[in-house]
């Protein structure tokens, strides 16, 4: 056979061998595996300023640290009111509101945070004008958090995973985004309005009402009972911190402080029905440790800040209730 013809025959056979194999009749072709998505390089975003001392105007001595603990946005048991713990910043209104929304409408928390998969998170906030018109505000932050030693200095989670603490990021991320929106941690760290935060997270109107009223204030109880049944977020605010009733450690309630209302209950007590309000202190404990020791409160460190008050006692210790939705 001539050399040229022999070469053409070999090339033809080689091309046939390179053709993709066709599946036989009745035989399924193996699916092609998608190529793994390229991991985005981590982004670093300017962090909001820390809280300033009101007397000296000096910054808090807390340094930002990277998320080197492997903390995740959400813990293995989902989003709960008990996830939130207020830090060394006077934003109890924010912590109480986050806990309230987490307990009543956990999906609102989940829908408000977008994981950008590059170490940053975009948080969506709502704002209502006086006519009820809703606008949306987006704030992107990273997971670098101001730390006091090994612990996040400001809002943090109580979640423990594999023996490690503070393993759930969402309370810290929302607080950091809120600080970035308002200008700094100092801008949000000297008191605020819990209703504004609940509105920012849910897009629903918040209405504050006094706990005082004629007799047992049945209209307020009726509203709170309906809100509890309908899973509406609620918070409660105490009165002047210098009022003597807040100095008594037995009360277990502190003045000028916001609490999450987890719900209300009607409990049978003989032939009567007892009204109770279920509350949570965003500190993660009902009392300061010294006050707990003074009154023999052995559950202060284990109850997660949750406690109950009879209706009359609640109205005596709290000035207002805010209902969202």
* 115-152 confidence digits (pLDDT tens): 999 999 999 999 999 888 999 999 999 999 999 988 89
Same domain, 221 and 148: no
Task: Output the six-digit token pair for 217.
Answer: 């204030």
> How many residues appear in the chain?
325
Using only the alpha carbons of the chain, give its radius of gyration: 28
Number of domains forming the structure of the chain: 2
Domain with 271 in it: what CATH number? 3.90.70.10
What Å distances lie between residue 159 and 46, 66, 72, 201, CA to CA? 27, 18, 10, 22
Same domain, 187 and 210: no
Transcribe 12-79 into DSSP letters: HHHHHHHSPPPPPTTPPPPPPPPPPPPPPPPP--PPPB--B-TTT-PBPS-EEE---S--BSS-TT--
Quote the CA–CA distance of 264 and 225 in Å, as a whole number.
Answer: 6
Residue with tokens 């009820």: 132
Alpha-helical runs (H) found in 78-233: 92-104, 106-112, 170-182, 185-188, 194-202, 218-229
pLDDT recorded at residue 60:
86
The torsion angles phi and psi of 160, rounded to 5 degrees, stand at -120, 125
Single out the residue in 159, 191, 223 at which a domain terminates: 191
What Å distances lie between residue 166 and 56, 191, 283, CA to CA? 31, 24, 14
Same domain, 118 and 185: yes
Q: Could you report the per-residue pLDDT of 1-60, keeping only the tens digit for each?
A: 544 444 444 554 444 444 544 545 555 455 566 555 555 666 778 889 889 888 888 888
**Structural domain of residue 186, as residue ranges?**
63-191
Name the average pLDDT for the chain: 88
Same domain, 238 and 187: no
Task: Output the six-digit token pair for 239.
Answer: 């009165």
Residue with tokens 């023999």: 296
Same domain, 225 and 133: no
Single out the residue in 191, 216, 235 at which a domain terminates: 191
CB 325 within 8 A of CB 232: yes
Task: With respect to residue 174, please indicate whether it lies within any of the assigned structural domains.
Answer: yes
User: pTM of the predicted model, to two decimals?
Assistant: 0.84
Q: Could you report the per-residue pLDDT of 281-319, keeping only the tens digit for each?
A: 999 999 999 999 999 999 998 899 999 999 999 999 999
With a CB cutoff of 8 Å and minimum separation 6, the contacts of 40 are 116, 117, 118
Task: With respect to residue 58, please indicate whether it lies within any of the assigned structural domains.
Answer: no
| Longest Cα–Cα distance in the chain | 116
Task: Output the six-digit token pair for 73.
Answer: 């946005």
Same domain, 213 and 180: no
Quote the CA–CA distance of 16 and 11 in Å, as a whole number.
Answer: 9
Same domain, 221 and 291: yes
Same domain, 156 and 239: no
pLDDT recorded at residue 139:
98
Same domain, 74 and 187: yes
Same domain, 293 and 211: yes
Percent of the chain at pLDDT exceeding 90: 69
Task: Output the six-digit token pair for 79.
Answer: 């989003």
Quote the CA–CA distance of 144 and 44 in Å, as a whole number.
Answer: 9
Residues pairing with 318 in the sheet: 238
Same domain, 210 and 319: yes
Same domain, 70 and 182: yes
pLDDT recorded at residue 7:
47
Single out the residue in 158, 191, 224 at which a domain terminates: 191
Task: With respect to residue 6, please indicate whether it lies within any of the assigned structural domains.
Answer: no
Task: With respect to residue 196, please indicate whether it lies within any of the assigned structural domains.
Answer: no
| Listed residue (141, 167, 170) closest to 79, CA to CA | 170
CB 201 within 8 A of CB 112: yes
Q: Collapsing DSSP states into helix, strand and coil, what is residue 179? A: helix
């Amino acid at each position: 056979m001539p050399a040229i013809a022999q070469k053409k025959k070999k090339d033809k056979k080689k091309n046939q061998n390179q053709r993709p194999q066709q599946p036989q009749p009745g035989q399924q072709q193996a699916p092609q595996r998608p190529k793994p998505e390229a991991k985005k390089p981590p982004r670093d975003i300017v962090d909001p300023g820390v809280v300033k001392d009101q007397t000296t105007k000096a910054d808090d001595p807390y340094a930002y640290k990277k998320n080197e603990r492997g903390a995740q946005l959400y813990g293995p048991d989902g989003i709960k009111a008990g996830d939130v713990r207020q830090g060394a910043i006077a934003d109890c209104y924010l912590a109480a509101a986050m806990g309230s929304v987490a307990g009543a409408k956990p999906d609102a928390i989940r829908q408000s945070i977008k994981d950008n998969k590059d170490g940053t998170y975009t948080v969506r906030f709502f704002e209502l004008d006086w006519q009820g018109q809703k606008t949306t505000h987006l704030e992107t932050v990273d997971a670098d958090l101001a730390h006091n030693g090994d612990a996040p200095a400001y809002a943090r989670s109580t979640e423990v995973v594999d023996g490690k603490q503070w393993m759930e990021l969402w309370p810290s991320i929302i607080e950091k985004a809120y600080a970035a929106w308002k200008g700094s941690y100092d801008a949000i760290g000297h008191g605020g309005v819990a209703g504004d935060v609940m509105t920012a997270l849910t897009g629903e109107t918040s209405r504050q009402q006094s706990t005082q009223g004629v007799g047992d204030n049945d209209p307020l109880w009726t509203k709170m009972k309906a809100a509890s049944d309908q899973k509406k977020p609620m918070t409660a605010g105490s009165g002047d911190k210098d009022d003597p009733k807040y100095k008594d450690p037995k009360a277990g309630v502190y003045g000028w402080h916001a609490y999450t209302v987890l719900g209300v209950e009607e409990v049978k007590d003989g032939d009567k029905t007892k009204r109770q309000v279920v509350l949570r202190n965003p500190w993660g404990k009902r009392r300061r440790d010294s006050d707990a020791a003074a009154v023999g409160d052995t559950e202060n460190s284990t109850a997660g800040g949750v406690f109950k008050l009879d209706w009359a006692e609640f109205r005596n210790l709290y000035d207002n209730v805010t209902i969202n939705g």
